[in-house]
Structure 1
């Protein structure tokens, strides 16, 4: 009798353990990282929407300034322009489900000014030809919609307000005028 009870206990314990391990291993692949996708970008009028701990679920480093800008194939490629301080900054294009599609940093671009087209390859080529801009950096993406996350390190700057002003002057507009 004890032998049968011990076998049942071991079998249930193994099934429970395998179920737990399977759930732990499969859960990240089944869930989406929506930390930045809930940020309201409406009404920004060509500016990036600032992201802080009040409007995102992400655990953000307070030494960085963060902002997002939506891109959508319906409005064509998006153009991100502005001058950045000499400290570290990075740009990440992300799909709506939170996957990182492409990244750039200050070291990848020439100088500290940003002039970047973001969108699908065919749309980027058409926008460059229509606007007559051949020598502009591009970020070709495999999706129609998503957002661009811009991060600026402002932790060691003497005047953080200078960094915030530069960050607020960044513009995110459709590359082709309506």
Structure 2
């Protein structure tokens, strides 16, 4: 009787673990994971703003107090520089790898000058850059990407309708471009 109860308990625990694994891995099997959806917005190395809930043709931003833009990128051929500045009360950046694991996050309070200036690179690329750091990267935050692909989510706060134009301009002017050192 004791071994029968033990077998039932082990079977139930195993079934529960199997169900959890299946549920957590389902997005990657269906192609509806966050990275795949961000890639579908358009070309890489460009921020795409998310639309408000009323516009069904574009990806949806469901928080009316925040404006959001996303950029899919690849550091395979070189570092990617994220840059944005403007008169917004708050902004935040989150960088994810292709498996949607958060790699890095920051906001305007933790930036050097209040502007977004971040460089994403592989460990080898960062070593080469640090040997002779270009002057334009002296204030930039260097972020190491273990994988070669990922996406960035840039959000800004819109406390009142009067700040909407500034928030929209901030996201429209944000850049997510390959970095080339000016010689």
1:65 aligns to 2:60 (yes or no): no
Is the 2:46–2:72 contact (alpha carbons within 8 Å) kept by the matching residues of 1? no
1:74 is aligned to 76
Select the residue among 78, 83, 99 that pairs with 2:85.
Answer: 83
| 1:97-135 CA distance string (max 9 Å, x none) | 222111111121123211110122321343463744333
Alpha-carbon distance in structure 1 between the residues aligned to 2:160 and 2:9? 52
Identify the match of residue 141 of structure 2 among 126, 131, 137.
137
Of 82-91 and 162-171, the range deviating more from structure 2: 82-91
SS at match of 1:149: strand
Q: How many residues are aligned here?
A: 168
Change beyond 3 A, Cα 1:27–1:156 = farther
Alpha-carbon contact 1:47-1:169 (below 8 Å) kept: no
1:121 aligns with 2:120: no
- The corresponding residue for 1:96 is 98
Q: Which structure has the bigger radius of gyration? A: 1
The alpha carbon displacement at 1:43 in A equals 4.7
Unmatched tracts of structure 1, length 5 or more: 1-12
SS in 2 for 1:74: coil
Inter-partner Cα distance in structure 2 for 1:173 and 1:71: 8
TM-score normalized by structure 2?
0.71
> 1:146 deviation in Å?
0.8
The structure 2 residue matched to 1:172, chosen from 173, 176, 183, is 176
TM (normalized to structure 1)? Answer: 0.73
Unaligned runs of at least 5 residues, structure 2? 1-7
